[in-house]
Amino acid sequence: MKLRLVLITEIIAPYRVPVLNALSTHGDIDLHVVFLSETDASLRQWNVPKEDIRFSYEVLPSFRLRVGEYNLLLNRRVCTALELAHPDAIVCGGYSYAASWQAAYWARTRRIPLLLWIESTAADQRRNRPLVEKLKRQFIEMCRGFVVPGTASTVYLRQFGIEEERIFRAPNAVDNGLFGAGATRARQDADAVRRRLGLPGRYFLNVGRMVRAKGVFELLSAYAKLNPGLRASVGLVFVGDGAAKSELVERAAQIDPGNIRFAGFVQREQLADYYALADTLVFPTHSDTWGLVVNEAMASGLPIIATEVAGCVADLVQHEWNGMVIPPFNVAELRAAMAQIASSDCRSQMAERSGQRIQAYSPAAWSAGMAKAVTAVCGRRQ
């Protein structure tokens, strides 16, 4: 008999739908997903992919308020949704939502196993805030099991004294087939794609929100410090939008020679075109719990330049094997890594290694990890 799992998560994110679809087909799990909101339009411009959903779900009534850097999301009908779902186990995708705490207390009074799906790492800039850390510890104490995406989150949880047998790995994943096939098609028609999108012949690529915390200003500075001959032959393309865009555009206009393009926000289905024709993805984040754009780029067959604080790096990026790993905030090392990748004869080999490694980070692998966690806390063996 399948275990009834209720998974609580914030929004209907395009990159999460494939892994949830995979979990819904797992032989041990009867999945129901509770979304706290359809999306967060103030931060995200992506389409809500309801037509792709293959699992049982509901969206709770919600109220969202931003106070400075804090995002307050309040929901009605949390306990009602749980009562109607009759779960054997509950997974909360985070502890910072009021709904997660409601679910935790509801589960405790009914002795239903609670798991925390956690991506935090020791490099997370949100750490060392006394109130946040106190709340996190209290929530952790109510959980029977923990689901993490990789090495960095595992190490972080061990600092709380969590036993290894209570930590389960469900590797963060995207739809590798979507990006791999899209990149192959784009390369087969490279000239037409390049003309249609206005892309340089060669370019470094950055994908994500244009905010300081993503390291976009360090990237622009590093590009400006490259040898003028290299800048004349290799451009820089930013895909995304955000508060820093206007300042980036202003600074970019002062760099000569150079070919810097701002593509704006691009929906997931069109991203493979940008990945396919790039030399490398540059992910210079100051702090990131994972970084799914790295998965996307690797599935598209790209080398990666990433900072060591990105949660995905310990698992996905091996220095001078399929890319370069550098410290955050370090423009000199970022410039050197970009110059090395751009002129390296091993770039195609690095790209091939990225494509091979990312195959283990699939929706099916995530589904298997999540199912193993749920069956374990419910006292069953797979």
Tell whether 276 and 315 lie within a shared domain: yes
Number of structural domains (the chain) is 2
Query: Which residues are CB-neighbours of 67 under 8 A, at least 6 positions away?
Result: none
* pLDDT on residue 69: 64
Average pLDDT over residues 302-328: 97
Tell whether 30 and 137 lie within a shared domain: yes
Residue 12 has pLDDT above 80, yes or no: yes
Average pLDDT over residues 208-229: 97
Tell whether 310 and 325 lie within a shared domain: yes
Tell whether 185 and 260 lie within a shared domain: yes
Q: How confident is the model at residue 381 (pLDDT cuts 50, 70, 90)?
A: low
pTM confidence score: 0.95
319-344: per-residue pLDDT in tens? 999 999 999 999 999 999 999 999 98
Residue 15 has pLDDT above 90, yes or no: yes
Q: How confident is the model at residue 134 (pLDDT cuts 50, 70, 90)?
A: confident
* pLDDT on residue 364: 98
Residue 131 has pLDDT above 90, yes or no: no
Does any domain span residue 196? Answer: yes
Tell whether 194 and 294 lie within a shared domain: yes
Tell whether 189 and 93 lie within a shared domain: no
Residue 261 has pLDDT above 60, yes or no: yes
Tell whether 141 and 282 lie within a shared domain: no
Average pLDDT over residues 179-185: 98
Does any domain span residue 220? Answer: yes
> What percent of the chain has a predicted confidence (pLDDT) above 70?
97
Mean predicted lDDT score pLDDT of the chain: 95
Tell whether 109 and 208 lie within a shared domain: no
* pLDDT on residue 124: 75
Does any domain span residue 169? Answer: yes
Tell me which residue range forms the domain holding 372. Answer: 3-173+362-377
Does any domain span residue 236? Answer: yes
* pLDDT on residue 95: 92
Tell whether 139 and 205 lie within a shared domain: no
Does any domain span residue 94? Answer: yes
Does any domain span residue 382? Answer: no
Does any domain span residue 287? Answer: yes
Does any domain span residue 246? Answer: yes
Q: The CATH number of the domain where 97 resides is what?
A: 3.40.50.2000
Tell whether 161 and 252 lie within a shared domain: no
Tell whether 164 and 308 lie within a shared domain: no
Tell whether 137 and 67 lie within a shared domain: yes
Average pLDDT over residues 82-106: 96
